[in-house]
Amino acid sequence: MSHTPSRESSNNSIKVVARFRPPNTTEIEFGGEPAVQFIGNDSCVIESSIFTFDRVFSLNSKQTDVFDYSIRSTVDDILHGYNGTVFAYGQTGSGKSYSMMGTEIDGPRRGIIPRIVEQIFASILQSPAEIEYTVRVSYMEIYMERIKDLLQPINDNLPIHEDKTKGVYVKGLSEIYVSSVDEVYDVMRQGTASRSVASTNMNQESSRSHSIFALAITQKNMETGSSKSGQLFLVDLAGSEKVGKTGATGQLLEEAKKINKSLSALGNVINALTDGKSTHIPYRDSKLTRILQESLGGNSRTTLIVNCSPSSYNVQETLSTLKFGTRAKNIKNRPKINAELSASELKSQLQKAQSQISLMAEYVAALERETQSWRSGEHVSEEMWATKSSADAAKKSYSAPTTPRPRSQISPPARPNSDDSSEDFLQWENELQDRLTDRETAIRALERMIKESNAENVALTQREAELIEANEKFEDDILKLKQDLGKLQYESKEAQITMDSLKELNAETTADLDITRKQLYELSLQNQEKTERAERRDRRKKEKIRKMANGFEFFSYRDASVADDDLDSSKDLSLSDNKKDWIGEALAALDNDQDIKSGQKSSLKMYLLESREFIYRAEQVLDARIEEIEDQISRREDIEAKLKTLEELTKQFVDDDAVSAARLEEYITSKQIILENMLLDAKRDLGMSISDNRRLRKIIANEERRLSATDRSSSVSSNSEFLAISVSSSSTGVSITPSTSIQTPSATPASPSSSVPSSPTKSAAKFHSMKQQLEDFEMVKRSLMRDLQNRCERVVELEIQLDEMQDINKSMTKNSTASKGQLKRMAFLERNLDQLTQVQRALVDQNAQLKREVAMNERKLRLRNEKVLALEQSLHATQERLANETETFDRKMSQLIERYDDAKMFRRQAEGLGGSSPTSGNANQRIVKPLRGGGLGSSPLTAYLRGGNTPESGRLDSSPIALSSPSVSKRSSWFSRN
């Protein structure tokens, strides 16, 4: 491997290139204009400021352009044993990842990293076969000032150490041996998947962390034994924009501040390195600058790509980025080849040194000899003076080779500050770093735990608050329900009391009702009695009429063929004295009349007897009627008097009880009207009866007079007087007047007699005429009998009515006189009854209503009880859940503490065993995979290197790297796919 001192001496500055991407949609949408002008290959003008860099790539620059100019030589440097660094700096969305990774793996848009990897393995393939290579990769992220091993993400806070042999390194960072391009890509994908990402307003896929992908290549010449090593850092910095523009808040704002802290520390380091007066370079101000300490002003060939937006929309960020690049351009590095000499080389160097030493010893001896001569006063000619030429030459040849570093791997950094280079100090610092990292990790774990606990606490507090609230609500509800329950119980009791009082009232009312019913029963009995009385009255009436009719039948419907014995017996009928005399006289005269035949005589005799009987009976009836009528009149007067008394009493009762009085009055008035009508009828009938009676008496008197006159004027034998009775009907009754003589039907012509001038012809005529008269009389009699029967009926009715009236009168009198108090009591009772009926009805209604309400309230109560029960159950369940949650929380907490303790112990153990990560994943990845140079571009090894197969497997694939990938965006780009 050749050394390139010329480059080493001539090109120690950081190479800075600027790259402008095309404007994006946001810039166009916001009216961004092109703000950059390009001058040549290395300059651009923005807002009148000219920026000159090693190269400026315009909008349409290709990935290969950037790589070929900026990076290809760096890869060569690495393979020559230099350290190298490629930074991508710029605001978010400016194209850093596009430049570093690209959007595809095997196309023209693949970025710098895949091209570097390809070139490394290609160079290895082309290198001489005696050179053996090992390639190790590591991938880390600096996020929130913590170093996270992306290949072992559990190690998220690794310390930075430094020692004289290894220089600055990240302690515990995984290094994976790779032997092919694919293996590198796999590692990159694996690491990228573990990155902490978040989007900002400026770039939806923005990474908020600094990522460092490191490749360490060692090469050993198997023939000479010499070795070289180079390390390449590929750094994709986080966005350099101002915090305000990102719109970040909360966690993002915290991130932005820490990112800015790293970037500003980077700026400070660059300033210190370039201002020419700083004696202290603040590498330790941030993790980023500390790790990249050798890349900035140290042993490294460094390239900085400043990525910019071409739009006026981001012009301030672009200016800031370009200024950063300009400053960085002034940084001077001191790159050196990290080589170790082989034994032969060391031997020859030793021989050279020994010869030098002998030469020098000779020179010293010559000088001593010369000095001795001079001191002894001898003169030494100039030719004899001891010269340094040989010694100088020896000196030069001695000091020319680079002193090998006493280390085997990555070259140790040269300390910029001699103060810090003390080994003790470094050891002390490393210890401090370890402790610091442990503390930070512990703090972080605790913070996480506290955060989780806080979150859980918040959730629990919230839950507790909710539960308390719910509890309070439940308690309120329960209280309310209890109150309601109490109220309902109280109301229920009240209702019970009301019910009891109502029951009592009901009992009283029932008792009153019983009394009333009794009274009603009595009344109904009275009614029954009344009905019975009415029936009795009817019967009596019928009886009376029958009796009366019997009396009249005796003579009115008597058969004409009555035997003489009967007629004779009728002689015994008692007649009134005065009538008996003249009818008796007429009978005697008839007996004495010799002229009248015996048959005629008997007929006339019978007729006379019948007439006498009729008159007698009629007189009796009339007398009885007159008596009765007189009685009736007197009774009527009595009734009227009693009625007056009753009216007075009624008036008195009116004051006491309007209703009873009204009823009574009504009853009495109706009865009065009936009675008055009855009396009027009776009066009228009486009047008629009296007039009829008078007329009858008159007729009888006339008849008697006529009969006596006839008896006196004519002899009994020759002539008979005939009664002639004319009957005329009138509307009021029957009037009987003496109009014609009546002949008996058995009358025969008068027989010759001495005293009475009679002849047989005359007698026959007379007899005939009498017979006719008798027939007429019979008719009149019948009519009279019918009339009499009617009258009798009426009289009987009147009698009965009078009887009733008397009864009523009696009871009323009894009631009115004997028990005014009773009446009052009755009226009071009736009133009470009405009131009680009303009250009872109201109470029954109220009772029903109360029952309904009680039933409803009972239902409500039941419902509420159920609700209370449910609420209590829910409360109980919630309390249980809360207790469970608390228990779970405690358990989790103790588990976390245990895990944390375990992790701490494990870490300590691991560190004690050699500092490797406890969670190292694939042991195979830690196995050294030596690679040998192929010497040719195309060999089985080439395929092996590209395909990742071991040469022994025999599966050599001669095809190029077969990772086809469509053009994808950054987060879904080729390296972030699984």
Find where tokens 């609700």 sit. 867
Q: What is d(CA 633, CA 624) in angstroms, rounded to the nearest whole number?
A: 14
Q: How far is the CB of 211 from ligand ATP (least distance, A)?
A: 9
Q: What is d(CA 307, CA 973) in angstroms, rounded to the nearest whole number?
A: 19
Residue among 475, 493, 473, 492 at smallest CA distance from 861: 492
Q: What is d(CA 467, CA 460) in angstroms, rounded to the nearest whole number?
A: 10
Q: How far is the CB of 128 from ligand ATP (least distance, A)?
A: 38
Residue of 82, 98, 139, 313 marked catalytic: 98
**Active site includes 93?**
yes
If binding is defined by CB under 6 A, does position 258 make contact with ligand ATP? no
Q: How far is the CB of 66 from ligand ATP (least distance, A)?
A: 9
Q: What is d(CA 212, CA 235) in angstroms, rounded to the nearest whole number?
A: 5
Q: Which of 556, 829, 970, 974 binds ligand ATP (CB under 6 A)?
A: 970
Q: What is d(CA 213, CA 113) in angstroms, rounded to the nearest whole number?
A: 9
**Active site includes 61?**
no
Please, what is the angle between helix 658-713 and helix 760-813, to 10°? 160
If binding is defined by CB under 6 A, does position 310 make contact with ligand ATP? no
Q: How far is the CB of 102 from ligand ATP (least distance, A)?
A: 9
Q: Which of 94, 192, 433, 509 binds ligand ATP (CB under 6 A)?
A: 94
**Closer by beta carbon to ligand ATP, 110 or else 929:** 110
Residue of 54, 76, 77, 236 marked catalytic: 236
If binding is defined by CB under 6 A, does position 767 make contact with ligand ATP? no
**Closer by beta carbon to ligand ATP, 46 or else 238:** 238
Given the rule CB under 6 A, which of 16-24, 216-224, 627-635, 716-724 is the region that contacts ligand ATP? 16-24
Q: How far is the CB of 101 from ligand ATP (least distance, A)?
A: 8
**Active site includes 236?**
yes
Q: How far is the CB of 419 from ligand ATP (least distance, A)?
A: 36
Site string for ligand ATP, 99-118 (x = CB under 6 A): ----x---------------
**Closer by beta carbon to ligand ATP, 501 or else 972:** 972
**Closer by beta carbon to ligand ATP, 26 or else 846:** 26
Find where tokens 């990897």 sit. 117
Contact assessment for residue 819 and residue 653, using Cβ atoms and an 8 Å cutoff? no
Report which DSSP code applies to 402.
P
Q: What is d(CA 749, CA 604) in angstroms, rounded to the nearest whole number?
A: 13
Residue of 15, 54, 81, 97 marked catalytic: 97
If binding is defined by CB under 6 A, does position 329 make contact with ligand ATP? no
b/e per residue, 457-467, with b = 16+ CB within 10 A? eeebeebeeeb
Contact assessment for residue 965 and residue 974, using Cβ atoms and an 8 Å cutoff? yes
If binding is defined by CB under 6 A, does position 32 make contact with ligand ATP? no
Contact assessment for residue 435 and residue 839, using Cβ atoms and an 8 Å cutoff? no
Given the rule CB under 6 A, which of 21-29, 338-346, 704-712, 875-883 is the region that contacts ligand ATP? 21-29
Q: What is d(CA 472, CA 483) in angstroms, rounded to the nearest whole number?
A: 16
**Closer by beta carbon to ligand ATP, 209 or else 753:** 209
Q: How far is the CB of 255 from ligand ATP (least distance, A)?
A: 12
Contact assessment for residue 289 and residue 266, using Cβ atoms and an 8 Å cutoff? yes
Q: What is d(CA 738, CA 727) in angstroms, rounded to the nearest whole number?
A: 9
**Closer by beta carbon to ligand ATP, 246 or else 763:** 246
If binding is defined by CB under 6 A, does position 325 make contact with ligand ATP? no
Residue among 811, 808, 804, 809 at smallest CA distance from 537: 804
Q: Which of 85, 134, 174, 206 binds ligand ATP (CB under 6 A)?
A: 206
- Tokens matching residue 479: 């209280």
If binding is defined by CB under 6 A, does position 98 make contact with ligand ATP? yes
If binding is defined by CB under 6 A, does position 239 make contact with ligand ATP? yes
- Tokens matching residue 131: 């050179």
Position 824, amino acid: K
- Tokens matching residue 862: 């039941």
Contact assessment for residue 737 and residue 728, using Cβ atoms and an 8 Å cutoff? yes
Q: How far is the CB of 21 from ligand ATP (least distance, A)?
A: 3
**Closer by beta carbon to ligand ATP, 84 or else 90:** 90
If binding is defined by CB under 6 A, does position 969 make contact with ligand ATP? yes
If binding is defined by CB under 6 A, does position 298 make contact with ligand ATP? no
Q: What is d(CA 482, CA 479) in angstroms, rounded to the nearest whole number?
A: 5
Q: How far is the CB of 93 from ligand ATP (least distance, A)?
A: 4
Report which DSSP code applies to 61.
-
Q: Which of 83, 85, 97, 134 binds ligand ATP (CB under 6 A)?
A: 97
Residue of 81, 84, 90, 95 marked catalytic: 95
Radius of gyration, CA atoms only, the chain? 80
Q: What is d(CA 12, CA 295) in angstroms, rounded to the nearest whole number?
A: 11
**Active site includes 95?**
yes
Contact assessment for residue 229 and residue 308, using Cβ atoms and an 8 Å cutoff? no
Q: How far is the CB of 900 from ligand ATP (least distance, A)?
A: 33
Q: Which of 119, 127, 179, 207 binds ligand ATP (CB under 6 A)?
A: 207
Sign of the CA dihedral running 356, 361, 365, 371: positive
**Closer by beta carbon to ligand ATP, 94 or else 751:** 94
Residue of 167, 191, 239, 298 marked catalytic: 239
If binding is defined by CB under 6 A, does position 320 make contact with ligand ATP? no
Residues in the chain: 978
b/e per residue, 708-735, with b = 16+ CB within 10 A? bebbeebbbbbbbbbbbbebeeeeebbb
Burial class of 845 by CB neighbour count within 10 A (0 to 12, 13 to 18, 19+) = exposed
Q: How far is the CB of 307 from ligand ATP (least distance, A)?
A: 6
Q: How far is the CB of 34 from ligand ATP (least distance, A)?
A: 15
Interface of this chain with ligand ATP, residues 185 to 204, rule: CB under 6 A: 203
Helices (H), 814-948: 820-913, 940-947
Site string for ligand ATP, 917-946 (x = CB under 6 A): ------------------------------
**Closer by beta carbon to ligand ATP, 24 or else 689:** 24
For 625-632, which contacts have Cβ atoms below 8 Å and span 24 or more sequence positions? 625/689, 625/693, 625/795, 626/689, 626/690, 626/693, 628/795, 628/799, 629/682, 629/686, 629/689, 629/690, 632/682, 632/686, 632/798, 632/799, 632/802
**Active site includes 97?**
yes
Position 211, amino acid: S
If binding is defined by CB under 6 A, does position 412 make contact with ligand ATP? no
If binding is defined by CB under 6 A, does position 93 make contact with ligand ATP? yes
Q: What is d(CA 349, CA 544) in angstroms, rounded to the nearest whole number?
A: 188
Q: Which of 90, 167, 267, 933 binds ligand ATP (CB under 6 A)?
A: 90
Site string for ligand ATP, 413-452 (x = CB under 6 A): ----------------------------------------
If binding is defined by CB under 6 A, does position 262 make contact with ligand ATP? no
If binding is defined by CB under 6 A, does position 965 make contact with ligand ATP? no
If binding is defined by CB under 6 A, does position 321 make contact with ligand ATP? no
**Closer by beta carbon to ligand ATP, 98 or else 653:** 98
Contact assessment for residue 927 and residue 136, using Cβ atoms and an 8 Å cutoff? no
Q: Which of 23, 84, 95, 413 binds ligand ATP (CB under 6 A)?
A: 95
- Tokens matching residue 653: 């009762």
Q: How far is the CB of 327 from ligand ATP (least distance, A)?
A: 20
Residue of 32, 81, 90, 93 marked catalytic: 93
Query: Which residues, other chains included, contact 955 with Cβ-Cβ below 8 Å and sequence gap of 6+?
Result: 947, 949
Give the total of residues touching ligand ATP (CB under 6 A): 20
Q: Please give the positions annotated as active site.
A: 93, 95-98, 236, 239
Footprint on this chain of ligand ATP (rule: CB under 6 A): 21-22, 24, 90, 92-98, 103, 203, 206-207, 238-239, 307, 969-970
